């Protein structure tokens, strides 16, 4: 039995650099992505939890 398209839908919470990168990569891999953040687009605070470190190799192939 094949999974329907709804089985490939995910939610990403947070629009910092890590959340945006994750949502982008999941979208490129065919997932339907719902991206949530507490602020309106373009109004979010800078990503401070990762101290400016972008760990691209840890979240992508």
Predicted local distance difference test score (pLDDT) of residue 48: 55
For residue 8, pLDDT beyond 60: yes
Band the pLDDT of 34: cuts 50, 70, 90. Answer: very high
Give yes or no for a contact between 37 and 44, defined as CB atoms under 8 angstroms apart. Answer: yes
| pLDDT-above-90 percentage for the chain | 26
Residue closest to 19 by CA, chosen among 36, 2, 3:
36
**How far is the C-alpha of 47 from the C-alpha of 38, rounded, in Å?**
13
3-state secondary structure of 9: strand
Predicted local distance difference test score (pLDDT) of residue 1: 45
Instruction: Please give the model's pTM, rounded to 2 decimal places.
Output: 0.59
**How far is the C-alpha of 41 from the C-alpha of 15, rounded, in Å?**
9
For residue 38, pLDDT beyond 60: yes
Q: Where are the beta strands (DSSP E) in the chain?
A: 9-13, 32-36
């Amino acid at each position: 039995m094949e999974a329907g398209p709804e089985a490939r839908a995910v939610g990403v919470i947070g629009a910092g650099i890590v959340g945006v990168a994750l949502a982008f990569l999941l979208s490129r891999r065919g997932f339907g992505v719902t991206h949530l953040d507490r602020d309106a687009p373009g109004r979010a605070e800078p990503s401070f939890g990762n101290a400016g470190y972008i760990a691209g190799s840890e979240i992508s192939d």
